[in-house]
Each structure stands twice: as structure tokens, then as C-alpha cells.
Amino acid sequence: MQVYNIDLGSATAKIVEDLYGHVQDFDSNAASLRRRIATKDKHEDETARQVDRLIDAYQALVTCVLGFSIQSPRYGISGCRLEDGSFVIAL
């Protein structure tokens, strides 16, 4: 962080901001893609189902990676979870 001349709190805020932005972008793009392939043509229904499965798979993959990151002892945050599911991490 010294390389970028920012403190830990600012770096953490930037990471959270970036993650939130990427989730928003993904959701927006997924919705746009689903709108574009929505059709009443029975021949294209299978394509729409496959695109839905692909989007769902990407969402599941990201959710699994984030879940692993939270539970893994590697990052040391699994013990910081509160009863409501949020986290308090002392820096």
C-alpha cells in the first residue's frame, strides 16, 4: 500500500468499492443478455436456457470463491463473523 501511497482503510474501501462495482456490472450485463435472447421462438428457447445456465454458473462460481475466502483460515476472517452474518475485522 505504501507503493500507492494509501493507508489500509483507504485500500480496503477501494477493494469493497471495486467488488461492488463488478457485481453491479455483472448483474446489469446478465440482465441485458437475458433481455436480448428473450424470445417466443421455440427453436431459440434452448439457447436462452443455456445462457441462463451459464449466467447462473458464473454467479455460483463467484459466490463459492467469496464463501471460501470467508471460511478459509488463510485469510483469518472466519472468526470475525457476527450473528447477523456481517463481519467486524480489526485492522
Distance CA 12, CA 70 (A): 15
Residue 2 has pLDDT above 80, yes or no: no
State the pLDDT at residue 30: 94
3 in any annotated domain: no
> How many domains does the structure of the chain reveal?
1
Q: Which domain holds residue 37?
A: 8-80
In this prediction, residues 2-28 reach a mean pLDDT of: 86
Q: Supply 35's cell numbers.
A: 433481455
30 in any annotated domain: yes
12 in any annotated domain: yes
Distance CA 1, CA 15 (A): 12
∠ CA 28-24-21, nearest 5°, is 140
> What confidence tens digit (pLDDT) does each residue in 31-70 have?
999 888 876 666 678 888 899 999 999 999 988 988 888 8
State the pLDDT at residue 28: 96
